Structure 1
Amino acid sequence: MLPFLKSPFKLFLVLLLLGRVAVFGQGEPKHGTKFEQLGPMLHSPNEYRGADGAPGPEYWQQTADYVIECQLDVNEQRLDGNELITYHNNSPNTLRYIWLQLDENQHAADANNQRFEPSSISPAMSEQELRALEPWRELDKFGVNIHEVTQKNGTALEYSINKTMMRIMLPQPLGPGEDFSFRVKWHYYLIDRINSISWGRGGYEYFSEDNNYLFTITQWYPRVCVYSDFEGWQNNQFTGRGEFALNFGNFDVKMTLPEDYVVGSTGECQNYSQMLSGNELKRWKEAQSSNEPIEIVTLEEAKSMEKTARSTKTKTWHYKAENVRDFAWTASRKFIWDAMSYENEGGDPVMCMSYYPKEAYPIYRKYSTKAVEHTLKSYSKYSIPYPYPVAISVEAANGMEYPMICFNPGRAEEDGTYTEGSRLSAISVIIHEVGYNYFPMIIHSDER
């Protein structure tokens, strides 16, 4: 024993001090305690952000623009894509690599979310419960297949994939104010989002009674992660739960699929004159000045289309969207499509629209597009005027939102009747999901 510790009192003081060090050094802080420092949650003010998080005089955001061409094979439920991404480094930092999200890899057999749920065996279990014990056994063909990553001139780029994340090494450092363009070529198989053991927001629903599909194409393309002043690169794994913040940018997207499919999408269609029949185009023009929904594709036309033999010919829909954080679309031979015009608080026209199969007609024809208009009016009154030219509700037996388009429930019974609960559920979910256009699609946030 050291001489100065021979005193019992001094020894007690040393042990007490060591105990306090051990207590304060262990584990992570427990949020909500009275004396926790706010540094981990609320950073000190600087030139980029104030103490309340509001933008400071030197605030910046990164942006990314996308030009995407994709082909949907409806028989194989496969989507092939080729995209050109232009990344704008608006930060004061020099970057040496770029992180991308591969959200569709949440359905791959080795994805984290296929294994992190606890499981147990009960005396009696359903088939679905048994399948959920080892979901990865059914998922061998799913997940994104990256064919190539190249510079704009075709020179190959070095990249590495870690489940739902991909890091691309830049050929030279990307300085402040500089841009970098690169291409990614890929394909993946869509999941049966109704029956798959791997739950997802995007995929397809199969209608066995008429042999048709309804596709919801969401979180579908490799996309650049956020690089921010307070976090640097967001490179956490995506597990299908909380949504990450994304970069705003412009999208130019072409979708090639069978000619008998109707497409609804983020953004504005650039070629309705080639995609629509003469009667459909006439109705579309009428809807642009109508304050009541007009059926662009009617119930009778949709019923007739779903019964006819599938076309082997294709056509390419072309959409553009400006200053959005994401892009989603939908396609089906079953769709009824209605639309009406709404003038936002700033006097700009907005097309409120709905796409839905005949199974949802009794509810959606009466309420969906009017609920979209009501939501825009209400949210604009209490926040900001809706800034986009389109707002869409799609009946797809689920609930999820993306810029200018959302997916909602709302089907009637086979005889066309529906309960008050079904009606109110459809209306409330439509309002809920359309409202997400404001938070987080415009006023940005990160759920993770």
Structure 2
Amino acid sequence: MKYLKSSLLFALLLSIISTNAQEVNPDNQHLFNDFTYRQGNVYRTASGKPGPEYWQNAADYDINVSLDDQTNMISGDITIHYTNNSPETLDFVWLFLEQNRFTENSRGTLTTPIEGNRYNGDVEGGFKLTNISAKTKSGTSSKYIISDTRMQVFLDKPLAAKGGEVDIKMNFSFKVPVEGMDRMGRLNVAEGTIYAIAQWYPRVAVFDDVVGWNTDPYLGAGEFYCEYGTFNYQVTAPASLTVVGSGVLQNPNDVLTKTQQERFSQASKSDKTVYIIKPDEVGKPAAHTKNNGTLTWKYKMENTRDVAWAASKAFIWDAAKINLPDNKTALAQSVYPKESDGAMAWSRSTEFTKASIEFYSKTYFPYPYANAINVAASVGGMEYPGVSFCHYQSRDADLWDVTDHEFGHNWFPMIVGSNERRYPWMDEGFNTFVNNYSTEAFNNGEFPTTVNKPRNLNRYLTFENREGIDTYPDVANARNLAYTAYYKPAAGLFILREYILGAERFDNAFNSYIKTWAFKHPQPNDFFNHIENVAGEDLSWFWKGWFFGNGNIDLGVTDVTTQPGGSIITFENSGQIPMPVTFKVIYADNTSEIKKLPVEIWQRGNSWDYFLKSSKEVIRVEMDPDKMLPDVNILNDTWNK
């Protein structure tokens, strides 16, 4: 081909541009572009894995407390052994004092609406602290500042990078609130008081490579972000109380009767529930090694981010074996008062706990703890490593749902240690998603699940005051939080698995994410990057559309025209979130077939013509025949001749 002179070439280009100017349409590339800074570094890779220089700090705890059931006071002492594995020196250490939420002038109290919400709490509590010190190799400091639910402990000299250690010690006490914001507290029943104890000790805030010190105050809806370590804790309580807690009981010979020890041995080998304390033994001498004075219950838990415990005179106690991968076992346990007993109530709690943990261990990642204890309390449902608090009046499907959900949290965020205070969807949403499959599997589908029906979300998705998944939990409207943190992100993962990627590709990526970030601190971009890299799919359009903002899905079929050799089917995208198109074609001879189009058809615009090669007459086209998408406009989902 001969080269044209530059002037002639320029004139030709102008002619082409002028001729076709009226045909240029804006494309949708902005919907497919990256939406955050997702490049990797030495700490977190672009493939969504911890980088070659990934680090996280560690906190080990020794805690000794006493429970006074006359004054409802907890008092004791704590030693926190903190290790700075970061590449920078630290001048101070931030701690959380979450019991300070229960004061009249706390930020959480002052930001609670007048009409109240789920996170109302008592206002006559808070920590009392004494004898505070921080000891390093170079010396000891007693300087500190308390600000609401945070405490800044200063060091005598900067704590060395990559291995510097400090021991922070103090005495503390607080009054156990009745209403602990539906996360902890106390409940009076006929046989005594049930103490559900959490957020009960000063604990280290997370220092990470993303924001440094994570010091967001504890307001209510936002949950927790914790470092991992070993906990040794002991609870001294009246001898008539049974104390259960996270981890492994270290002194069973001191606190359990010989009969109870024998029953534990039996339960550890039994797939059926075995009583440790029978209903007719509650409140009687047979339930305790002694009935005067006090007993000290000693527990230990390793590689955990938190511990919780419960105590009561009123507990019925039962247990059964949990079967784990590689021929390992753990023990499911339940404690509950007589008010909760019953064939369709808490007498099934251990059965539910066992089934839930066995499913998640087999499907996602082996349960890492020796015990899983379900506690009947005034708490609607709250999770801690190895311990769940569920409402004592729950029964039937409700008891299954809350038990399964709270123990599912052992995977998110106890194993995969995300930041709940900022990103609740990374634990509540992920957990709600996996709850769908455990519920389908339990007892041949004894109880129903709704996560697999994303169109149930449509009422919320068209709600004028809806909020996005990325809304901070303490900012989200109380009516919206269940959707922003639980249902919408769970539905998003369901759509990703069942409609976009398919089960095999999704499961490979999701399970790899869990394994890769077990006992570490992933951020949202780590999840996005890891899923994309393992599944082999650029999903920016999905993360942006579903997890950020308030856009909706609205795909439709507008026309079918007969052409030589087939038919042209015209589709439209009237929503803000592009999606692959799955549609069903029904022919005049009553045969049908399923066709799929990739999401990239929407990069060029909002209309797409598809040529269907078939000599058959098309009489109906139906979008999303399995109703997998929460399409907000069903009126344009079908075309009929």
TM-score range, shorter-chain basis?
A: 0.7 to 0.9
Among 115, 126, 136, the residue aligned to 1:143: 126
Quick one: distance in 1 between partners of 2:210 and 2:48? Answer: 10
Deviation string for 1:337-362 (max 9, x for gaps)? 11111221122220111111111110
1:85 and 2:65 aligned: no
5 Å-filtered alignment, 1:309-320, equals: 313-320=293-300
Letter of the 1:206 counterpart: N
User: Are residues 1:430 and 2:403 paired?
Assistant: yes
Which among 191, 198, 215 is matched to residue 218 of structure 1? 198
Query: In 2 relative to 1, CA 57–444 (structure 1 residues): closer, same or farther, beyond 3 Å?
Result: same
Query: Structure 1 residue 408 and structure 2 residue 390: aligned?
Result: yes
1:144/1:306 CA distance change after superposition, 3 Å: farther
Once the two structures are TM-superposed, the CA of residue 152 in structure 1 deviates from its matched residue by 5.0
Paired amino acid for 1:427: W
Mapped contact 2:125–2:174 kept (Cα < 8 A): yes
Matches within 5 A, 1:23-172: 38-39=35-36, 42-51=37-46, 53-119=48-114, 139=123, 141-151=124-134, 155-172=140-157
Alpha-carbon offset, residue 314 of structure 1 = 0.6
Q: How many residues align?
A: 384
Q: Which residue of 1 aligns with 2:624?
A: none
The aligned residue for residue 270 of structure 2 is 290
Find the counterpart in structure 2 of residue 275 from structure 1.
255
Alignment correspondent of 2:463:
none
Q: Determine the C-alpha separation between the residues in 2 that align with 1:429 and 1:302.
A: 25
Q: Is the 8 A contact 1:215 1:330 kept in 2?
A: yes
Q: Equivalent residue of 1:172, what SS? A: strand
Distance 1:234 1:331 in 2: 32
In the other structure, the counterpart of 1:257 is 237
Name the structure 1 match of 2:172. 186
Tell me the equivalent position of 2:469: none
Output the CA distance in 2 between the equivalents of 1:72 and 1:261: 10
Gaps of 5+ in 1: 1-32, 121-128, 413-421
Contact 2:135 2:141 in 1 (8 A): no
Do the aligned partners of residues 410 and 80 (structure 1) sit closer, same or farther apart at CA in structure 2, a change above 3 Å counting?
Answer: closer
The structure with higher relative contact order (CA 8 Å, sep 6+) is 1
> Does the C-alpha gap of structure 1 residues 245 and 36 become closer, same or farther in structure 2, counting only changes over 3 Å?
farther
More displaced stretch, 311-320 vs 159-168? 311-320
Deviation at 1:38, TM superposition (A): 4.0
The equivalent residue for 1:337 is: 317
What SS does structure 2 have at the residue aligned with 1:438? Answer: helix
- What is the alpha-carbon distance in structure 2 between the residues aligned to residue 34 and residue 145 of structure 1? 53
Find out whether 1:346 has 2:326 as its counterpart.
yes
Equivalent residues of 1:267, 1:319 under 8 A apart: yes
What SS is found at the alignment partner of 2:413?
Answer: coil
Contact 1:410 1:425 in 2 (8 A): no
Q: SS at 2:341's partner residue?
A: helix
Report the 3-state secondary structure (helix = DSSP H, G, I; strand = E; otherwise coil) of the residue aligned with 1:441: helix
How far apart, in 1, do the equivalents of 2:333 and 2:42 lie? 42
2:355 to 374, 380, 396: 374
Q: 1:144: how far off?
A: 0.7
Secondary structure of the 1:245 match is: coil
Look up the SS of the partner of 1:346 in the other structure. helix
In the alignment, what sits opposite 2:524? Answer: none
Contact 2:141 2:155 (8 Å CA) reproduced: no
- Measured in 1, the distance between the counterparts of 2:258 and 2:82 equals 40
Task: Report the Cα distance in structure 2 between the residues aligned to 1:36 and 1:184, rounded to whole angstroms.
Answer: 51
Structure having the higher helix fraction is 2
CA deviation after TM superposition for structure 1 residue 304, in Å: 3.7
Separation (CA, whole Å) in 1 of partners of 2:409 and 2:326: 20
Checking the alignment, whether the CA contact within 8 Å between 2:369 and 2:386 is kept in structure 1 is yes
Residues 305 and 333, structure 1, Cα contact 8 Å, conserved in 2: no
1:204 counterpart residue number = 186
Q: Percent identity?
A: 34
- Closer/same/farther in 2, CA of residues 269 and 83 from structure 1, 3 Å limit: same
Aligned equivalent of 1:387, options 359, 363, 368: 368
Q: Within 5 A, what are the aligned runs for 1:16-27?
A: none
Moved more, 434-443 or 373-382: 373-382
Q: List per-residue Cα deviations over 1:321-376 (Å, max 9, x = no partner).
A: 00000000000000011111122112222011111111111044541111111111
Letter in 1 for 2:130: H
User: Are 2:285 and 2:291, in contact at CA under 8 Å, matched by a contact in 1?
Assistant: no
The one-letter code matched in structure 2 to 1:166 is M
Distance (Å, rounded) in 1 between the aligned partners of 2:292 and 2:178:
22
Unaligned runs of 5+ in 2: 1-29, 423-641
Change (3 A) 1:424 1:410: farther
Q: In structure 2, do the counterparts of structure 1 residues 306 and 152 end up closer, same or farther at CA, with 3 Å as the change threshold?
A: farther
